[in-house]
Chain A
Amino acid sequence: MEKFKYFVIGYPSDSNAPIYALYQPVLDCFLNVTESLELAQTIKLILSSRYDLHVCCISKANNYKINLIDNEICENWTIGDRNTVSLTSYPTDSPKVATIKNLQPTGTNNWNIDQEKQWIFLCIHWILFFKQFEQFTYYRDDLILNGFLELESIGSSQIDSIHNLKKQTMKLLYLGLDFTTTDQAIINLIKSNKLINKFWQDLTRDR
């Protein structure tokens, strides 16, 4: 049985693909690894209500190996060349990626790291849940077109309900602190929406 609900290993499916890690400077360790730069940058923003995270490309480090760091043990590693990471940052400077030249094991600290890792898995789970709607043409088109047309006064009930639910979910993740409370609040939101609940039920049944 896995230690974390919504656990993802973060292990590369493609051994040549770059791997990104989220580095927390006060804890001096990585809290998550992922292949997706977009996901790493989204997590950085959602977690900015808690602390700074620096998106680091770790796969170019001189001692990186394909099986060296995954989400089970990422907190045991830190950057070896710290001056590559700026300590001051804008909360919204997510496109910036620090390329790490060297990785090194890190020491222990007295903060509950598992709690932080669990929170990131929660965020990833629900971000990817809503990402799946982008495979539907109407939703994807509306996401782009209404991004600038702003036709809020002319509704599209199904699409709007997804948008609204996504907004509420992201706000819960942005401001929330407790895993169980937040996760349950999101599930309750989804259950209250007929369309999305069916989608969610199908997904969970498939597992």
Chain B
Amino acid sequence: MAKIIHANRYQLDHPSLKDVYTQYPQHDWESFLLVSGNNGWTEGNLPRAGVNNFPFKNNIAQLPGFGMPVYDPAFSQTFDQITDLRFQNLWKKYPNKHWLVLWSGGVDSTVIVASIIKKLNPGDYSRVRIACNRQSVYENPRFFYKYIEPNFSLIDSSELKYNYELFEQYLVITGEPGDELCMPEQPSSLLFFDNFNNHKKNFRKDPDQLLAYISSYSGKKTAQWFYEKLIENINSVDIPLETYYDFFWWAGFNYYWIDNMYIQSTWQEDTVSALSLNLLFTELVNWYNTTEYQQWAMVTRREGFHYGTDLGGYKLSLKKYIYEIDHDDYYLKFKTKFLSLSRDTTPRTWFCILDDLSRLSLDKDLELILDLLPDFIQT
């Protein structure tokens, strides 16, 4: 019998599922749905590591490429070393494939292009194409005009179709899940804007501001519920997490990584339907999904690496890598996050993924979903 391995958090509050949920009163469904859905302050509900104290089983975390590496406090590779090596390994691994880099103009994908410029012989630039759109240019115009337009041929990413032919032709590379390496941008208003010292506060001893912040999104009761759930999860792993920054970083790194791994399939749901999710999982290169990047992220959660001395220091190590190439003081000092206009990351057409990586939708497959859902809920 088929098994659900992942449910779309945006459709969890569908009325037809309510009767199933009520059979499991041990879970606080009201809080869980608030945190998981569009109104939540955070965007993930599937822990990769530690105790899973949310209602759903995290079967998808067991798939190759989704897990979290073991925390290694002695890990010493620098971001630059890891990035250079990432480029070299991929270039050697696929000697006959052209690269298609999805460039949004943001920090994560600009690191990829910077690594190409740093390490690749200009004579080989013809093997690399850049997929972008006008918003990408608006996000990082000087880099575009100085490094991308003169060196690489372009593909309009707004017209890009994820199909078999595309993966046949190219090694398709994204800047995912770069946002989860450091910390999701959203809580930076609390940590770095309201008061820069907030990020150093201890989330166990002094949680008031942290709770007030989460409450502003989801209400006091749900904020307390989520805080306690996350603490329970944190206490079950062997990683020293103490500060507000650690708390929010862990929420993204542990709970939202998986969502970002298949985020490409949600941006272009209609065009990805002809392609099995399996092909997307196995062929798409998510640049930051490596053991080394994750281990780097786990040991460098401090000033000078994940962040700087002001709001513009977000993802500082990544920005310094780019700066080595472009020497753009403004991008280094001021670049903060833009939401990409072309990327609607809300999956709408499907409700869940099954263990054969096929997907079911509530309008077409409701009966089967109602049959399979109980087995997906933790008892």
| Residues of A participating in the B interface, judged by any CB pair closer than 8 Å | 24-26, 28, 48-52, 82-83, 87-92, 109, 111, 174-175, 177
Bound Cα distance from A25 to B337, whole angstroms: 12
Smallest distance from the beta carbon of A154 to chain B beta carbons, Å? Answer: 27
Q: Which residues of B contact A87 (CB under 8 A)?
A: 185, 188-189, 193, 311, 336-337
Are B311 and A89 closer than 8 Å at their CB atoms? no
Tell me whether B193 and A90 are in contact (CB under 8 A): no
Q: Are B141 and A174 in contact (CB under 8 A)?
A: yes
Which one, A24, A25, A89, contacts B338 given CB within 8 A? Answer: A89
A87-B311, A174-B141 as given contacts; A26 in contact with B334, CB under 8 Å: yes
Given A48-B138, A82-B193, the answer on whether A91 and B338 have CB atoms closer than 8 Å is yes
Residues of B within 8 A of A (CB): 135, 138-139, 141-142, 145, 185-186, 188-189, 193-194, 310-312, 330, 333-339, 341
Residues on B with C-beta less than 8 A from A91 are 135, 138-139, 338
Given contacts A87-B189, A87-B193, contact A26 B333 (CB under 8 A): yes
Shortest beta-carbon distance, B251 to chain A, in Å?
17
Which A residues are CB-close (under 8 A) to B135?
91-92
A88 touches B336 (CB 8 A): yes
Residues of B within 8 A of A25 (CB): 193, 311, 336
Q: In angstroms, how far is the closest chain B Cβ from the Cβ of A73?
A: 22
Known contacts A26-B333, A82-B193, A83-B194: A88-B142 contact under CB 8 Å? no
Give Cα A175–Cα B194 distance, bound, in whole angstroms: 31
Q: A82-B193, A88-B186, A90-B341 are in contact. Are A49 and B336 (CB under 8 A)?
A: no
Contact (Cβ within 8 A) B338 A175 = no
10 residue pairs, one from A and one from B, having the closest CB atoms: A51-B334, A26-B312, A91-B138, A50-B330, A49-B141, A26-B311, A88-B337, A87-B189, A26-B334, A26-B310
* C-alpha gap A109/B251 in the complex (Å): 32
Set of chain B residues within 8 Å of A52, measured between Cβ atoms: 334, 336
CA distance A92 to B141 in the complex (A): 14
CA distance A51 to B330 in the complex (A): 7
Q: Could you tell me the distance in whole angstroms from the C-beta of A51 to the nearest C-beta in chain B?
A: 4
Q: A52-B334, A83-B194 are in contact. List 5 more A-B contacts (CB 8 A).
A: A26-B310, A48-B138, A51-B312, A88-B338, A111-B333
B340's nearest neighbour on chain A, judged by CB, is A90
Q: How near does chain B come to A109, taking the closest CB pair, in angstroms?
A: 8
A64–B100 CA distance with the chains assembled, in angstroms: 53
Q: When A26-B312, A49-B141, A83-B189 are in contact, do A90 and B339 touch as well, CB less than 8 Å?
A: yes
Tell me which residues across on chain B come within 8 A of A24, comparing CB atoms: 334
Once bound together, how far apart are the Cα atoms of A162 and B145, in whole Å? Answer: 24
Shortest distance in angstroms between A98's beta carbon and chain B's nearest beta carbon? 13
Q: Which residues of the other chain, A, contact B311 by a CB distance below 8 angstroms? A: 25-26, 87
For this complex, 7 residue pairs linking A to B, each with C-beta atoms less than 8 Å apart, are: A26-B310, A51-B312, A51-B334, A82-B193, A83-B189, A88-B338, A91-B139
Q: Is the CB of B142 within 8 A of A49?
A: yes
The answer on a CB contact under 8 Å between A90 and B338 is yes
- The distance in angstroms between the C-alpha atoms of A83 and B341, with both chains bound, is 23
Please give me the residue from chain A that is nearest to B194 by CB atom.
A82
**Set of chain B residues within 8 Å of A50, measured between Cβ atoms:** 330, 334
B238 to chain A, nearest CB (A): 33
Q: How far is the CA of A49 from the CA of B186 in the complex (A)?
A: 22
Find A175's partner among B145, B185, B188 (CB 8 Å cutoff).
B145
Q: Name the residue of chain B whose CB is nearest to the CB of A48.
A: B138
A26 to B311, CA, bound (A): 5
CB distance from A101 to the nearest CB of B (A): 15
A87 to B194, CA, bound (A): 11
Q: How far is the CA of A40 from the CA of B330 in the complex (A)?
A: 20
Q: Least Cβ distance of B133 to chain A in Å?
A: 13
With both beta carbons as reference points, the residue of chain B lying nearest to A45 in the complex is identified as: B138
Q: What are the residues of chain B within 8 A of A51 when measuring CB–CB?
A: 312, 330, 333-335
Chain A residue contacts of B312, Cβ below 8 A: 26, 51
What separation, in Å, do the CA atoms of A52 and B336 have in the docked complex?
8
Compute how far the CA of A49 lies from the CA of B185 in the bound complex, rounded to whole angstroms: 20
Residue of B nearest to A24 (CB): B334
Give the chain B neighbours of A174 by CB distance below 8 A. Answer: 141
